[in-house]
Structure 1
């Protein structure tokens, strides 16, 4: 039993199970839901970090969309645990964005949401859901009109 008296509560806060080769849908939100990524230059700084994580072999990036105040990222995990991956991407992007804005301090909300896909799930359907976020949010009528997304199937 955990010291808090709440079964599993502390364990959930401490970390996640990161399974190499498993596909995860990751979501992270900017602090105060600040819509910084309306500025494409700032959004592209985050995209550069996503691409670097892919190029370094930390993940196999399947699809992503950078919304004005949050990120959805569909990845196949490689050798880096989820918490380290997100700490790296959020930390490095925060430094780059803060430097660009001549400010300091937290950029992202603490933590992130992850969902491991089941083997029977249609990964392409999840990817379509991810990249259609700007349409559902009323930002564009067609995915092609939104500049901050990508998927490996294109």
Structure 2
């Protein structure tokens, strides 16, 4: 889009060209994105602050999630289905990291585990998210990686 105006309201992700002359909306939705992560394998993931069934989700180009504004980028764009039934708790989920490193120093049991900063519950939640060979995605809520409240009790 050259010299085009792009409306970036509600909850949308956009990308710029390297020369900053073009901008393109790439996905929309989630209720309030407070974490966005590019993994070493080239896959993008996002989290929402409000824990409405999308604790950690793939954020592929063209995806749309119900949420603030519930606005589709294109009229034919389907909503991504709720990924899981569990909730990690809290309404201020605020960051995401994966146990990815180039040296492979994390143990195998941490493969595909997202660490989600959750200041409301004073914890670091752990969610294993796997992209299956058939294209589906599964998520499993693991025990918290860290929970300050348990340490204080």
**TM-score, normalised by the number of residues in structure 2:** 0.24
Q: Which has the higher strand share?
A: 2
Q: Which has the higher helix share?
A: 1
**TM-score, normalised by the number of residues in structure 1:** 0.24
Higher relative contact order (CA 8 A, sep 6+): 1
